[in-house]
Structures are given as structure tokens and as C-alpha cells.
Amino acid sequence: MAQPPGEPLPREVLGRLTAILGSAGVITDAGSLLVYESDGLTAYRFRPRAVLLPRNTAQTAQCVRVLADAGIAWVARGAGTGLSGGALALGNAVVISLARMDSIIDVDAGNRRARVQPGVVNVELSAAVAGAGLYYAPDPSSQTVCTIGGNVAENAGGPHCLKYGTTTNHIVGLTVVTTDGNVIELDTGAADGGLDLVGVFVGSEGTFGIATEITVRLLAIPEAVETLLALFDDVDDASRAVSALIAAGLLPAALEMVDREAIRAVEASAYAAGLPTDIAGALVIEFDGSPAAVKTDADEAVEICRQGGAREVQRATDEAERQRLWYARKKAFGAMGRIAPDILVQDAVVPRSKLPGTLREIYEIAARHGLVMCNMFHAGDGNLHPTLVFDRRDPDQVRRVELASKEMMITCVRAGGTITGEHGVGLDKREYMEMIFSEEEMAVMCDIRRAFDPLGLANPAKVLPVRVCREWVGPATRRVTDPAA
């Protein structure tokens, strides 16, 4: 779905912004704006009215103030890798790109803190502090390109958040440009008590303001790592093994699952890892910590998997082999392109104990709609990523994908889960919010949003269903109209 470009910025506004950022910091030509009309949710395109490229907090605040004065909506954008449409410029918004704010301001190794601008790439932060024996734990799959600011906006997760938590567990302070163009400092404070303004800001998907400086918590690089790959002939056995590992008191650093379709796609690609393509599923299990702890836990995990029906458990003996064992999981998305030109990735979460039954149901849903589906997901968290492959040039496929996706979401919510574990609500799951929140709860969230953004200009029409906040309604608002839904 594409929205035609809206009206250009008023000349007076454009003039003020150019005075702040210089001509190189303001993009208005149609060709350049094309780059910003989509993000990781590629089915949608919304061309922004302009793109602004501030370099620091002061410039960002001045820009927001200009836009607030003119009543112009805006959306902050990191690397544009988000999968829920969070960076799409709905409402004829202006994009405020934080790409030029990519400095690591300070590293305080003694106190295990770093202060960064939002445009710092996730993996580059870890690289920058590795010399001090530290790293930044949240590791979304897009970490080689996604930015810390985007991670904050979405409360990003990743494979290792099973043990280390998500982004919100690693943010201790923020400099925030508020929606009226002022600047406030938020910090968790060691006093612990009091409203956690940092905590409520993280994951607010760009609707509360812009974090222009972020203080993160760093962890010591684990001394030892052991990685296992357990191969199963039955998906049920694999998902039951997940529960068995957790119930045994083990806490892997990562516990991922990939199914047959994903493995086949990887083995047919340049990323082939030599895995058998007749298995039903595989678990990637990783432990980190002290050498003794890691060995003990890995030994126990091997035994649990074998008792749980694993055909084979491979154990990495060096870093190269560890990378190979991860290929099936990390390269699966990229390998999907061999199957079809488009994918839709869902992001539902269910309690671990419900994994076997939920997986069976979503496979049935995909089959019933005649769709090819792969599963590669964070099994330890119960965070499913059913991935439907299709060709968006075929309207019937698109219709069936949307129906199947909604059915899968209903299945996961009925199992006691939620609609998004790490990708965010954005535009993509806005209408699913009523599956898990009452009208009253959504109204309260709207009020919380208004407390931060009384003008309603920050990333409009995201997170909450449009009717809840009486916000902008436009052609991008689409609903599945299947009577059975």
C-alpha cells in the first residue's frame, strides 16, 4: 500500500529548518524522499514531506519546536529496520532521521556505562567497548544495522534476551527531546522508587519524544560460551525439550528453534551449514558464564535433549563451529528469498508450556490457507516468528496471508500470550491491540501518550487503534474483512 506524497512544507517552516540544519540537513526532493518511504514493513509506503538530519540534541529540539509551532507531525527514524512500520511517515509527517547522531559520547568502564547518540549501530557499540571486556547485551537479529535509538523505541529483544533481558533492562538514562521541543533528562536513579519515566519511555515507539542521548548498562563479556545444536525428527519433541530445559532450572543465554522449511531454505542457500534436511526441527542452545558453569549446564542440556527424542546433539568445539551451528537460525530470514519474493513475519509470544500446542495450530492454519510457512524463533521466551512466504503481486496470496496471520495471532492470544514480543505494535499490529487490552486500558494508554505528547504530533497513528485516540484516519487503515475473523 502506497500513499501519494503530501503537500510540501510551508516555505516559512522550510526556511527555519534550513537555518537550523543547513541545506544538507533538509531533504525535500522527491527522489531522495523515496528512500524514506518504507521501513522493514515493506508492504507499506508513505512518502514523508521532508527528511531532517540533525546532528545533536540542540538541533533536534529546535527542529521539533519548529514543527510543533507549525502543527506538523513528525516521526523519528533510526536505521529503518523496524518490522512493524514504526518509522513510516503517516499523517504526512516529516521524518527526523537520527542517522547523523552516531557518536559514542562516553564510555565509563569502571561503572559499566556508556552514553551514546541514538544513531549508534547496536553491534558497533559492543565492538567499541570490547577492549574494556564489556559488551551491550540486547542483540536483535538486525544488530549489524539497527541503531540504539531504534532499539530504545521498540524495546528490542534478540536471541540472548532470554538470559539478559530486553533493551529496557539495559537503559539507565535518557536525554529526551519532548514533543514541544524542550529537553529533559530521565534516569532510573539508584533510589529505585518513583515513577520510572525511563521505563515507560522505552518501547514507546517514538510517540513520547526523541531520545537524543542514551546511557546504557554494559555487561562483562562472558568468560566461556558453549553452543549446542539439537536435531529433532518431531517438532513436538523439540518444543517439549524447550520446556524441559527451563523446568530443569537451566537458564541458557539463548534457546532458539528453527523448523524444516527454514533449514531447507538455508541448506539450499550460500549459507548452507551441512544440516540434514529431513529433520523436523532444531534447537540452538547456548550457555555462557564461567567455564565450570557452562560445561555443567551444557552437559545437562545434552542429556535432556537426548531423553527428549533428539536424533543428534552437535556441540561446538571452537568459534568457527559455533558460528556454523548458528547459521540455521541467523541466516534463515535471508534465505527466504529463495522461496518467494515477500515474507510476513509475525511476532507473537505464548507461555513456553503452550508452545507444542500453539505450534501445531499455526502449522494447521498455514496449511488450511495453502501457504508456505517457516518457523525460526526465540523458543526460550515463547516468542514465535511464524514467517509466511508469498508474492505480493498476487492479491489472493496477500488476502490469504492476512487472514492466516490474524488467525495465528488469535491462537497465540488465546494461549495466554501477547501480540508482540519485540517487533512493536507500530502500524502493523495496531488493530490487534483490542485482542489483549480493554477499551478502558487503551484509553488510559492514550492518556499516557497525551501526557507526553499533548499536541499529538509525534509519530501519529501508531501503537493504538485510530478510533481510540480519535486520531488521523487515512487510506493506510486496513482491516481484514473475512466474516470468519
Partner 1 sequence: MSTTADRFAEHLTASTGAGAAAPPELLARVNAACAREGFAAVLAPDSADGAAAVLAICSAEGWPVLPIGAGTWLDPRGGPTRGGDVTPPAGVAPGRRATSTGADEGAVAGPETRTGDDAVAPGAAATARPPVLLSTVRLNRIIEHEPADLVIGVQGGVTLEQLDAALAAKQQWLPLDPAAAPHATIGAVAANASAGPLRAGHGTPRDMVLGVEIATGDGRLLRFGGRVVKNVAGYDGVRLTVGSRGALGLITALYLRVRGAARADRTLAVACGTGEGGARRGADLALALRDGAGCDAIELLSPAAAGRTGLVQPGWHVLVRLLGSVAAVTEAFERCQRIASGHETADVENDRPAAEVPSAVWDSLARLEASAGTAVRVTGPATGLADVTAALGRDVPTEAEGGWLMAAHAADGVIRLWRSSGPDGGPNDLAEWGTTAVTDGWTMMYDRPYELSISGRRDPRSDAEARRALAARLRTVFDPAAIMRGPWEV
Residues 421-480 binding partner 1 (CB under 8 A) are: 421-425, 429, 433, 436-438, 440-442, 444-445, 447-449, 451-452, 463-464
Residue 257, C-beta contacts closer than 8 angstroms, at least 6 positions apart = 238, 239, 242, 281, 282, 283, 284, 375, 376, 377, 379
Out of 4, 31, 110, 131, the residue judged to bind partner 1 by CB under 8 A: 110
Query: Which one of residues 25, 203, 308, 456 is an interface residue with partner 1 (CB under 8 A)?
Result: 203
Among 31, 249, 274, 395, the residue binding partner 1 under the rule CB under 8 A is: 249
CB 133 to partner 1: min, Å: 8
Coil, strand, or helix at residue 445? helix
Helix axes 291-307, 235-247, angle to 10 degrees: 140
Tell me the helices (H) and strands (E) count for the chain, helix number first.
Answer: 17, 20
- Between 195 and 320, CB nearer to partner 1: 195
Helix, coil or strand: residue 297: helix
Site for partner 1 in 334-353 (CB under 8 A): 349-353
CA dihedral 91, 94, 96, 100 (to 10 degrees): 140
**d(C-alpha 242, C-alpha 222), whole Å:** 23
Is 195 a binder of partner 1 (CB under 8 A)? yes
**Window 80-109: contact mask with partner 1 (x via CB under 8 A):** ----------------------------x-
CA angle 345, 346, 350 (to 5 degrees): 145
Amino acid at 341: P
Tell me the residue type at 63: C
Nearer to partner 1, 243 or 397 (CB): 243
Nearer to partner 1, 71 or 416 (CB): 416
Q: Give least dist CB 204 to partner 1, A.
A: 6
**Which residue number, 168 or 397, has a Cβ lying nearer to partner 1?**
168
Residues 128-187 binding partner 1 (CB under 8 A) are 154-155, 157, 161-162, 165-166, 168-169, 178, 182-186
State in angstroms the smallest separation of the CB of 302 from partner 1: 15
Q: Is 206 in the site for partner 1 (CB under 8 A)?
A: no
Residues that contact partner 1, how many (by CB under 8 A): 86
Spatial distance between the Cα atoms of 66 and 211, rounded to a whole number of angstroms? 18
- Closest CB to partner 1 among residues 54, 159: 159
Shortest Å, Cβ 463 to partner 1: 7
Q: Rule CB under 8 A: which of 371-430 touch partner 1?
A: 378, 381-383, 416-425, 429
According to the binding rule CB under 8 A, does residue 212 interact with partner 1? no
CB of 467 to partner 1, least distance (A): 15
Residue that is written with C-alpha cell 501445531 in the block: 360
Question: Would you give the end-to-end CA distance of the chain in angstroms?
Answer: 22
For the residues of 95-150, what is the DSSP string, one character each? EEE-TT---EEEEETTTTEEEE-TTSBHHHHHHHHGGGTEE-----TTTTT-BHHH
Scanning residues 275 to 334, which ones bind partner 1 (CB under 8 A)? Answer: 289-293, 295-297
